[in-house]
Amino acid sequence: MAKVKLTKTALKQQRDSLKQFQRFLPTLQLKKQQLQMEMRSCQERIKENERQEKALKEALSPWLPLFGEDAPVERAVKAISILRLETGRLNIAGVNVPVFKSVEFAVAPYSLIDEDPWFDDAVETIKRVIAVQAEREVIREQYRLIARELRTTTQRVNLFEKVKIPECKDNIRTIQIYIGDMDTAAVGRSKIAKRKLQEAAA
């Protein structure tokens, strides 16, 4: 900690700094709470997303015996590729995060005659599974960016609460004591000088 000057100017500077820190602290604390809430929201959305994926995969399982032994689900997966993932941007408590909008697929041509009648349904369900997984990755990126901002905000809150505000209060007290002592000493010196003058005049 830098040594503070014991002057009235320094006292004013310390008081101004204290007011500034005390004014900004509630804003930072509010931002911290918002970020924590958003992180919990991300976690809940990831869990919901995982439940959706599980339900979609369970919807595929009754079809497997109908397809025979030549792994039609694997063929359906190979037929699908992501053409474009569309995301937007959203500002959450001062953090720009991606937001999932949609996913566009390319499906390799296949013969409706050669494939089982359920192949179309399998392709559609797998597309929905991939879309759900893509959305989850976007939510995870939101979580990562919000978590990073939360770390920075928490550090600032701690700096203000535990370092800057106590430091200013300490400096103000030290300066006030010093100035008070100097004023008392000045009054004492003034009285002595006055007495000496009176004695000399007498």
In a domain, 202, yes or no: no
In a domain, 201, yes or no: no
Q: What are the structure tokens assigned to 105, written together?
A: 């697929």
In a domain, 1, yes or no: no
Is it the case that residue 80 has pLDDT exceeding 80? yes
CATH code, domain with 125: 1.10.287.3240
What are the φ/ψ torsions at residue 87 (nearest 5 degrees)? Answer: -130, 155
Q: Which domain holds residue 176?
A: 8-193
> For residue 4, what pLDDT band results from cuts at 50, 70 and 90?
confident
Cα→Cα distances 163→66, 149, 169, 170, Å:
68, 20, 10, 10
In a domain, 154, yes or no: yes
In a domain, 166, yes or no: yes
The residues near 148 (Cβ < 8 Å, ≥ 6 apart) are: none
In a domain, 180, yes or no: yes
Per-residue model confidence as pLDDT tens digits over 19-38: 999 999 999 999 999 999 99
Number of domains in the chain: 1
In a domain, 198, yes or no: no
Per-residue model confidence as pLDDT tens digits over 171-199: 999 988 888 878 777 776 777 767 777 66
CA torsion, ordered 69, 72, 74, 77, to nearest 10 deg: -170
CA angle 25, 30, 36 (to 5 degrees): 125
In a domain, 144, yes or no: yes
Buried-state track 8-19, b at ≥16 Cβ within 10 A, e below 16: eebbebbeebbe
pTM here is: 0.77
